[in-house]
C-alpha cells in the first residue's frame, strides 16, 4: 500500500502485526461494556468538566472512549495501550455497534489507523488535562528553574479542583467494578479497611534527584526500599529546590551531618499507589462442609486509590480516599495500615480517622513500645489506657521481649495480665471524640487499696498497690471516672489491646489482605500494575486514570473467580476451589516471631 510508505518501517511493521492478530470482539462483550459504562455514571461526571475545543464535528465521544478503555482491559488482561483501544473501537467492533456508539469509519490501512489513533489520543488527553492536578507538563525535560516558575504561577484553587475531579473519577471507576457486591457490602454492620502504599513504575526514565533537569514524568519520584521509601536526597518540604551552586572541581564531599546515599539503594522511579481494600475481619476464607467457599465471606477488593511521590504525604492521600468512601455510605469499621500512616502527625491522620468513626489498629516500632503517654494520671501503654499502678513487668513486657529478658510464652501471659489494669469505657465517645473512662477497680476488674469498697472481691482479681505520694493520688485514682479527650495519646491510641488475640485477628487479616491484593494486581500475567509498560502515558493524571481501570479489572477478575467457586442454588461450582496454604494460627504471634506449636 502506498499509504504505508509514509510511516517509519518499524511503525509499519507494528501495525501489520496488530492487524495479523486482530479478532472481532463478540457483540455480547461490547454490550456488557456499554452497560457497565452507562451504569457507572462516568459520562455525566466527565461531561461536567471535559470540554473539547470547538471546530470540526466530534467523531468520538467520551462514552465511546470509556467503552474502549474497558474493553482494552478485558482484551489484554488488565493493561491499557491507546493503540489497542483504537484498534478495538474502529476495527474490532461490529458496524452496528460502532454506529450505535457514534464511531466514524476509517480505512483499514496505516494512514487510516493513524487518523483514528489521533482522535483517540486527542479525546483521552482532553479528559486527562481536565483532571490533571499538576502544574508541570510531562514528556519534556524541564529545568528546575522552569519547574519552580510554573509551580509559583499555578492557580492553587484550580489545581485543587482538578484533584477533586480525579478522585471522583477513580471512585466511580472502582465503584462500578464492585457493583455485584454492593448489596452484600450494605448488609455488613461495618466495613473494615486495610491501607497500604505500593510502588508502581512510570513510563519515564528517572533523572538524578539533584540534577539540573526533571524527568519526563516530573510528578514521579524515586522509591527506596529502606525506611519510609522517600528519596533521601529530596527535602521533605519541597521536591523542587532552586538549582544548587556550581560544584567545585574534584570529588564532592557530603555536607556535615548528611548521610551519603548510594544510587544502588534506589529501587524504582515511579509513584506510591495508596490502595484501600475491604476485608471481612470476622471470618477467614474457610470452606464449607461441601468444600466450597462461604458466600457470606466477601473477596478482598480495592475501593479506593491515590497516587503521589513515594513516601510523600501518606496521611493526606489516605484521608483523601477515606473521605470519598464515607460519602459513598460505607459504615466505618476497623482500619489497619503500615507504620507510615500511624507515624503521621495526629492532626493529619489519627484524629481525623477517629472522627470519621474508624477504629485504628496499629503495630509499633521497637522505640515506641511500653509507656507512650499519659493523661490525668492514667498511662497509655502500647495504645490502651491503663491504671498508673500497673506493675512495671506488665508495662515493659514487649520491651523485655525484644531485649530477650523474657521468652515468648511469658510475654503472652503478661499481655493477658494487663486486662485487669485497663481503664474501661463508661460510655461511647461523643461527637467531639470525648469519652468517659472508668478506673479498673470501679469497673470491677481489680481491687485497689485507695478505694476500700473495691477490696475483698476475690483472689481472681488483681490487687492494685499504689505508691504513696506527698501530693496525694492522681485524678484517675481520686474519681470513679475521667474524661479522655481525642488529643490525649492520639498518635499511638488504638481500638484493640496490642498483641492480644483480637488484635492479631483483626490486624493481620487486614494487613495480609492489602499485601495480598498488591501481589494479585502485580501479577505479570495479569494487570502487572508495577510494570511501566502497562501504562505508557506520563503524568500523574494519566497514570491515575489508567491505574484505576487496571484495578477495576483486578476487582472484576477476583469477583468472577469467587462467584465461579460458589455452589449456589444447589448447583455445582464452575471452578474448583483453590486450596490455600496453611497460615500461622492467630494467637501465636509475638513482636519477635511466632510461638512454636504445642507439639
pTM comes to 0.89
Q: Which residue has the higher pLDDT, 384 or 239?
A: 384
Are 13 and 73 members of one domain?
Answer: yes
Are 307 and 272 within one domain?
A: yes
| 45 beta partners | none
**Whether pLDDT at 251 is above 50:** no
Res. 117: pLDDT tops 60 = yes
Percent of the chain as helix, strand, coil, to the nearest 5 = 40, 15, 45
CA 290 to chain centre: 35
263 — pLDDT class (breaks 50, 70, 90): very low
pLDDT value for 293: 73
Instruction: Mark whether 74 and 166 lie in a shared domain.
Output: no
> Same domain, yes or no, for 108 and 166?
no
Answer yes or no: is 248 within a domain: no
Q: Of the candidates 488, 522, 555, which is a domain's last residue?
A: 488
Q: Is 169 a member of any domain?
A: yes
| Cell representation of residue 9 | 518501517
Reported confidence tier of residue 265, pLDDT bands at 50, 70, 90: low
Q: Are residues 508 and 482 in the same domain?
A: no
User: Do 419 and 479 have their domain in common?
Assistant: yes
Range of the domain at 65: 2-129
Q: Say how far apart CA 566 and CA 578 lie, in whole Å.
A: 12
Say whether both 32 and 172 belong to one domain: no
pLDDT in tens, 351-375: 999 999 999 999 999 999 999 999 9
Instruction: Please state the rounded mean pLDDT for residues 35-64.
Output: 87
The CA distance from 457 to 450, in Å, is 15
Q: Both 69 and 104 in a single domain?
A: yes
Do both 312 and 189 map to the same domain? yes
Asked whether residue 217 falls in the same domain as residue 313, the answer is: yes
- In a domain? residue 244: no
Of 58-62, 157-161, 301-305, 404-408, where does mean pLDDT reach its minimum?
Answer: 58-62
Total count of domains within the chain: 3
Residue 47 domain-assigned (yes or no):
yes
Asked if residue 46 is part of any domain, the answer here is yes
446-484 pLDDT, tens digit each: 999 999 999 988 888 999 989 888 888 999 999 999 999
Residue pointed to by grid coordinates 460510655: 427
Residues 476 and 565 in one domain: no
The answer as to whether 12 is a domain residue is yes
Q: Of 421, 415, 417, whose CA–CA distance to 387 is shortest? A: 421
CB 481 within 8 A of CB 436: yes
Look at residues 234, 205, 199 and name the one whose alpha carbon lies nearest to residue 218.
205
Residue 382 domain flag: yes
User: Which of 75, 99, 129 marks a domain boundary?
Assistant: 129
Secondary structure of residue 9 in the 3-state scheme:
helix
DSSP string, 330-384: PPEEEEEE-HHHHTS-TTTTHHHHHHHT-EEE----GGG-SEEEEETTEEEETTE
Please say whether the beta carbons of 407 and 415 come within 8 A: no
Average pLDDT, whole number, for the chain?
A: 88
Residues 339 and 374 in one domain: no
Helix axes 314-327, 156-177, angle to 10 degrees: 60
The residue ranking higher by pLDDT, 239 or 225, is 225
Class of residue 185 by CB neighbours under 10 A (exposed 0-12, middle 13-18, buried 19+): middle
Q: Which of 64, 98, 129 is the last residue of a domain?
A: 129
DSSP of 461-522: S-EE-PPP-TT---HHHHSSEEEEPTTTTTTT--SS-TTSHHHHHHHHHHHHHHHHHHHHHT
Q: What angle do CA 163, 166, 168 make, to 5 degrees?
A: 110
Span of 198-212, 551-565, 584-598 with lowest mean pLDDT: 584-598
Amino acid at each position: 500500500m502506498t499509504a504505508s510508505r509514509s510511516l517509519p518501517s518499524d511503525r509499519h511493521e507494528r501495525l501489520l502485526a496488530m492487524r495479523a492478530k486482530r479478532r472481532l470482539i463478540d457483540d455480547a462483550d461490547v454490550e456488557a461494556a456499554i452497560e457497565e459504562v452507562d451504569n457507572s455514571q462516568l459520562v455525566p461526571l466527565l461531561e461536567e468538566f471535559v470540554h473539547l475545543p470547538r471546530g470540526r464535528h466530534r467523531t468520538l465521544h467520551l462514552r465511546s472512549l470509556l467503552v474502549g478503555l474497558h474493553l482494552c482491559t478485558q482484551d489484554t488482561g488488565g493493561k491499557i495501550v491507546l493503540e489497542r483501544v483504537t484498534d478495538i473501537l474502529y476495527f474490532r467492533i461490529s458496524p452496528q455497534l460502532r454506529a450505535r456508539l457514534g464511531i466514524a469509519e476509517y480505512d483499514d490501512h496505516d494512514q487510516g489507523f493513524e487518523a483514528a489513533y489521533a482522535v483517540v489520543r486527542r479525546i483521552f488527553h482532553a479528559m486527562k488535562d481536565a483532571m490533571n492536578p499538576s502544574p508541570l507538563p510531562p514528556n519534556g525535560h524541564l529545568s528546575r528553574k522552569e519547574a519552580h516558575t510554573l509551580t509559583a504561577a499555578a492557580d492553587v484553587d484550580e489545581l485543587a479542583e482538578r484533584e477533586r475531579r480525579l478522585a471522583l473519577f477513580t471512585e466511580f471507576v472502582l465503584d462500578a467494578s464492585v457493583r455485584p457486591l454492593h448489596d452484600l457490602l450494605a448488609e455488613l454492620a461495618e466495613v473494615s479497611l486495610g491501607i497500604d502504599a505500593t510502588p508502581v513504575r512510570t513510563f519515564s526514565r528517572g533523572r538524578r534527584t539533584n540534577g539540573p533537569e526533571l524527568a519526563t514524568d516530573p510528578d514521579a519520584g524515586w522509591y527506596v526500599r529502606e525506611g519510609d521509601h522517600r528519596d533521601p536526597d529530596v527535602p521533605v518540604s519541597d521536591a523542587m529546590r532552586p538549582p544548587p551552586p556550581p560544584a567545585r572541581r574534584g570529588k564532592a564531599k557530603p555536607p556535615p551531618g548528611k548521610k551519603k546515599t548510594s544510587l544502588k539503594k534506589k529501587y524504582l522511579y515511579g509513584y506510591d499507589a495508596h490502595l484501600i481494600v475491604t476485608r471481612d475481619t470476622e471470618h477467614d476464607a474457610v470452606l464449607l462442609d461441601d468444600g466450597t467457599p462461604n458466600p457470606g465471606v466477601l473477596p478482598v477488593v480495592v475501593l479506593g486509590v491515590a497516587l503521589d511521590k513515594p513516601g510523600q504525604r501518606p496521611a493526606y492521600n489516605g484521608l483523601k480516599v477515606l473521605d470519598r468512601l464515607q460519602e459513598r455510605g460505607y459504615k466505618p469499621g476497623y482500619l489497619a495500615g503500615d507504620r507510615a500512616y500511624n507515624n503521621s502527625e495526629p492532626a493529619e491522620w489519627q484524629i481525623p480517622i477517629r472522627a470519621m468513626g474508624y477504629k485504628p489498629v496499629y503495630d509499633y516500632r521497637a522505640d515506641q513500645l511500653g509507656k507512650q503517654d499519659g493523661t490525668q494520671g492514667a498511662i497509655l501503654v502500647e495504645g490502651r489506657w491503663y491504671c498508673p499502678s500497673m506493675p512495671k513487668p506488665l508495662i515493659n513486657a514487649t520491651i523485655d521481649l525484644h531485649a530477650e529478658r523474657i521468652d515468648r510464652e511469658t510475654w503472652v501471659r503478661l499481655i493477658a495480665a494487663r486486662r485487669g489494669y485497663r481503664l474501661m469505657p463508661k460510655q461511647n465517645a461523643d461527637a467531639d471524640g470525648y469519652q468517659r473512662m472508668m478506673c479498673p477497680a470501679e469497673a470491677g476488674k481489680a481491687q485497689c487499696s485507695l478505694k476500700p469498697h473495691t477490696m475483698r472481691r476475690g483472689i481472681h482479681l488483681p490487687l492494685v498497690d499504689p505508691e504513696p505520694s506527698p501530693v496525694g493520688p492522681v485524678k484517675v485514682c481520686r474519681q470513679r471516672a475521667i474524661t479522655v479527650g481525642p488529643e490525649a495519646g492520639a498518635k499511638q491510641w488504638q481500638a484493640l489491646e496490642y498483641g492480644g488475640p483480637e488484635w492479631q485477628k483483626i490486624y493481620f487479616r487486614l494487613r495480609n489482605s492489602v499485601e495480598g491484593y498488591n501481589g494479585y494486581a502485580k501479577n505479570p500475567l495479569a494487570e502487572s500494575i508495577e510494570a511501566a509498560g502497562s501504562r505508557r502515558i506520563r503524568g500523574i493524571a494519566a497514570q491515575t486514570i489508567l491505574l484505576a481501570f487496571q484495578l477495576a479489572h483486578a476487582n472484576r477478575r477476583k469477583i468472577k473467580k469467587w462467584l465461579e467457586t460458589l455452589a449456589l442454588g444447589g448447583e455445582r461450582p464452575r471452578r474448583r476451589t483453590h486450596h490455600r496454604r496453611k497460615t500461622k494460627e492467630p494467637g501465636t504471634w509475638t513482636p519477635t516471631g511466632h510461638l512454636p506449636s504445642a507439639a
